[in-house]
């Protein structure tokens, strides 16, 4: 049986999220009307804290939509190690709203109040989490007056979730109907399903608001996961964060307010799920709804609860913010599935309700994986741009704008001695030098027609595609350029317009004409699940012989249809959630080797780089070699679902031979394109 938590490099990989490690963004944007307020404590005193809502520039999730920049021995231009790029969002509480560590009422200590700051620096006592009775885990779940409470069945004094600490439904004028059903089968976790139905009787669209599970009674140190680009284990620790605040002369209350992990689905999170665990038990929460029908995403936040009088001690929360509006006269249904499992059970057990629901909507994986590693062929780098080299090509002897593609074809052919049978070409038409902020160009392949010497040698690229598997990394499929490196801003592609989407489809058609086997679609990011599904299905239907890979790492409903790309700067462990939900998926990992360099303290040798190819292949990823390290013979990406999951959680991998044409189609799709 697989260990409940990843063992490989566990201590090094778990990240202590503290005030120094997280980025504080847009405090002023946290308007009171957008913040769920705490429920009144049982003693009648006024609640004086709020749960922050993560926002970022423009109200969007901060995960970068632009493609990865590939340069040997150089990380991506986008700092993929930053919290924002991984979908981590830290948000301070509203000014004047953060309670003191003791839980007393009053405003947070400000920089001008030295006495209050000093008082706030007393380390909070560790949270007391009583031991659970021996034997199988059993819980009692109750719904009363719109609040959920979960206690241990053998000892009701042991509270696992106290919903009275925070309002369950907030940020909406709508009053949904609630119905609770319990789950008592130990094999699938024990817990409850909360069925929530919103109705809008008004004549205007109304916000759906948030569903918050507050009062989660767990230890000061909890384990969770960053599901932005993989399934990376993360540790949130109140004590470490508080001590770091003392060392930096910061108020502890402010530091704890930033102890969060957040992101949005389908923009940055793989699935709308969250997992919290301490040494006593694991809790998994997921929200079940037909995203393509309801046409909105979900922001998922895991964080430390703000202390208030009468809250019963430290607590954690999981919030699902429904990022959509309900039209007049309509109603929509959601299910909040919460499961608890003992520490010896795999944490994925608590997410079984989500997998079952996901499979009922979208079916098994519908793309056939190719496990062969890929050699990256990078033809341009924005740092090499000059008046004499406006397209920033890398090597003067290989420049296709001067010599055609003959030299590059010979170079790629010679690299086959490294052992790779697949390659992907980045920037074959070069990069923008006047407007580098728009790289990679959206007109990556149609830009080959601009220069006669490149256009005349295109048959050489076609011949290459007949002799080996060749892929092309395309620019953003969400924008279009009508010309090369112009001052005119690119236009956003309207996928409901034949003329607009033809600009992207023409790029893909150009790849097909070059006998491409793989096409990477950069910037495949949208807040509306329906928009994503319709785009991907249209592309797949139009070009059924091509294999598509999405960058950045796509959400589960897109990954069900096509492959995904991540990097070794973002993942260091198996993508267990993808193995669990979409067994048989194809996921590429670009090897920058930044982690390897950090571990070694020096530049790695080609042999050490090759070992990283093997390691990631064993984790279930298709390695994408960036620095010309040879491929160890026989290296293929393992089937992650079979390698990484315990037998009782594994499912058959890959698309079924008789996958129906309707598989993956939302049972209630919207009428017409988004």
Rounded distance, CA 229 to CA 208, Å?
A: 27
Q: Where are the domains of the chain?
A: 12-32+73-94+141-360, 374-644
Rounded distance, CA 406 to CA 397, Å?
A: 11
Rounded mean pLDDT of 249-254?
A: 71
- Name the fold adopted by 374-644: TIM Barrel (3.20.20)
Each residue's pLDDT tens digit, 282-306: 999 999 999 989 999 999 999 998 8
Between 70 and 555, residue with greater pLDDT: 555
Angle at 211 between CA 192 and CA 98, to 5 degrees: 120
Rounded distance, CA 199 to CA 178, Å?
A: 12
Rounded mean pLDDT of 9-33?
A: 31
- 66 pLDDT band, cuts 50/70/90, is very low
| Paired tokens of 347 | 């944490």
Look at residue 138 and tell me whether its pLDDT is greater than 60: yes
pLDDT at position 69, please?
52
Residue with tokens 């909890």: 222
Please give the share of the chain, as a percent, with pLDDT higher than 90. Answer: 62
Please give the share of the chain, as a percent, with pLDDT higher than 70. Answer: 77
Three-class SS state of 503:
helix
Between 401 and 253, residue with greater pLDDT: 401
Rounded mean pLDDT of 45-52?
A: 31
Each residue's pLDDT tens digit, 75-91: 343 333 333 322 323 32
- Which of 466-480, 487-501, 552-566 is the most confident on average? 552-566
Of 230, 273, 291, 208, nearest in space to 534 by CA: 291
pLDDT at position 12, please?
31
Q: Where is average pLDDT lowest: 54-63, 449-458, 526-535?
A: 54-63
Q: Are 106 and 129 in contact (CB under 8 A)?
A: no
- CA gyration radius for the chain? 26
- 73 pLDDT band, cuts 50/70/90, is low
- 477 pLDDT band, cuts 50/70/90, is confident
| Paired tokens of 594 | 């930044």
- 500 pLDDT band, cuts 50/70/90, is confident
| Paired tokens of 28 | 């002023």
Three-class SS state of 508:
helix
Look at residue 169 and tell me whether its pLDDT is greater than 50: yes
Between 397 and 31, residue with greater pLDDT: 397
- Indicate the pTM of the whole model: 0.82
Q: Are 430 and 380 in contact (CB under 8 A)?
A: yes
Average pLDDT, the chain: 81
Look at residue 549 and tell me whether its pLDDT is greater than 80: yes
Neighbours of 157 (CB within 10 A): 7
- 235 pLDDT band, cuts 50/70/90, is very high
- 13 pLDDT band, cuts 50/70/90, is very low
| Residue spans of beta strands (DSSP E) within 524-597 | 547-551, 563-567, 587-591
pLDDT at position 186, please?
66
Look at residue 597 and tell me whether its pLDDT is greater than 90: yes
Each residue's pLDDT tens digit, 104-133: 223 333 333 444 444 445 667 788 888 999
Q: Where is average pLDDT lowest: 238-252, 265-279, 308-322, 328-342?
A: 238-252
Rounded mean pLDDT of 558-580?
A: 97
- 205 pLDDT band, cuts 50/70/90, is very high
pLDDT at position 120, please?
46
pLDDT at position 71, please?
54
Each residue's pLDDT tens digit, 218-229: 999 999 999 999
Rounded mean pLDDT of 496-505?
A: 88
- 490 pLDDT band, cuts 50/70/90, is confident
Residue 1 DSSP symbol: -
């Amino acid at each position: 049986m697989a260990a409940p938590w990843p063992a490989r490099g566990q201590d090094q990989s778990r990240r202590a999220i503290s005030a120094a490690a997280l980025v504080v963004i847009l405090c002023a944007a946290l308007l009171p009307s957008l913040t769920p307020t705490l429920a009144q404590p049982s003693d009648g005193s006024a609640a004086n804290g709020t749960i922050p809502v993560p926002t970022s520039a423009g109200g969007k999730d901060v995960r970068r939509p632009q493609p990865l920049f590939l340069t040997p021995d150089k990380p991506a231009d986008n700092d993929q190690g930053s919290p924002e790029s991984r979908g981590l969002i830290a948000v301070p509480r509203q000014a004047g709203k953060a309670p003191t560590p003791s839980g007393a009422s009053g405003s947070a200590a400000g920089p001008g109040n030295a006495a209050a700051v000093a008082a706030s620096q007393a380390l909070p006592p560790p949270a007391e989490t009583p031991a659970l009775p021996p034997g199988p885990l059993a819980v009692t779940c109750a719904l009363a007056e719109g609040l959920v409470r979960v206690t241990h069945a053998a000892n009701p004094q042991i509270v696992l979730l106290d919903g009275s600490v925070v309002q369950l439904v907030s940020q909406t004028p709508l009053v949904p109907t609630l119905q609770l059903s319990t789950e008592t089968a130990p094999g699938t976790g024990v817990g409850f399903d909360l069925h929530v139905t919103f109705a809008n009787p008004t004549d205007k669209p109304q916000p759906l608001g948030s569903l918050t599970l507050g009062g989660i009674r767990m230890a000061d140190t909890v384990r969770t996961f960053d599901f932005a680009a993989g399934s990376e284990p993360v540790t949130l620790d109140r004590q470490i964060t508080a001590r770091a605040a003392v060392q930096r002369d910061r108020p502890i209350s402010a530091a704890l307010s930033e102890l969060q992990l957040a992101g949005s689905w389908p923009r940055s999170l793989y699935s709308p799920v969250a997992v919290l665990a301490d040494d006593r038990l694991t809790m998994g929460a997921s929200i079940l709804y037909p995203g393509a029908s309801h046409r909105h995403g979900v922001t998922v936040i895991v964080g430390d609860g703000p202390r208030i009088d009468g809250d019963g001690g430290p607590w954690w929360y999981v919030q699902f913010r429904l990022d959509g509006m309900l039209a007049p006269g309509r109603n929509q249904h959601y299910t909040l599935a919460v499961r608890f499992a003992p520490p010896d059970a795999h944490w994925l057990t608590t997410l079984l309700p989500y997998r079952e629901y996901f499979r009922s909507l979208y079916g098994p994986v519908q793309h056939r994986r190719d496990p062969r590693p890929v050699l990256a062929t990078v033809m341009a780098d924005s740092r090499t741009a000059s008046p004499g080299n406006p397209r920033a090509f890398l090597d003067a002897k290989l420049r296709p704008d001067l010599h055609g593609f003959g030299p590059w074809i010979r170079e790629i052919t010679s690299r086959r001695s490294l052992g790779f049978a697949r390659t992907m070409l980045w920037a074959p038409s070069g990069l923008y030098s006047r407007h580098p902020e728009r790289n990679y160009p959206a007109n990556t392949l149609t830009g080959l027609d601009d220069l006669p010497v490149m256009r005349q040698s295109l048959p050489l690229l076609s011949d290459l595609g007949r002799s080996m598997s060749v892929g092309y990394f395309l620019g953003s499929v969400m924008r279009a350029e009508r010309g090369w490196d112009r001052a005119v801003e690119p236009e956003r592609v309207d996928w409901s317009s034949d003329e607009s989407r033809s600009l992207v489809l023409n790029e893909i058609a150009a790849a097909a004409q070059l006998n491409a086997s793989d096409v990477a679609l950069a910037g495949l990011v949208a807040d509306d699940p329906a928009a994503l599904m319709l785009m991907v299905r249209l592309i797949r239907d139009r070009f059924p012989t091509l294999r598509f890979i999405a960058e950045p790492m796509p959400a589960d409903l897109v990954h069900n249809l096509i492959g995904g790309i991540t990097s070794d700067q973002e993942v260091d462990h198996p993508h267990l959630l993808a193995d669990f939900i979409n067994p048989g998926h194809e996921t590429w990992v670009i090897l920058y080797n930044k982690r390897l360099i950090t571990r070694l303290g020096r530049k790695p040798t080609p042999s050490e780089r090759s070992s990283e190819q093997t390691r990631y292949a064993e984790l279930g990823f298709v390695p994408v070699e960036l620095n010309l390290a040879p491929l160890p013979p026989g290296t293929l990406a393992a089937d992650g679902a079979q390698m990484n999951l315990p037998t009782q959680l594994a499912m058959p991998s890959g698309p079924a031979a008789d996958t129906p044409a309707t598989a993956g189609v939302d049972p209630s799709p919207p009428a017409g394109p988004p």
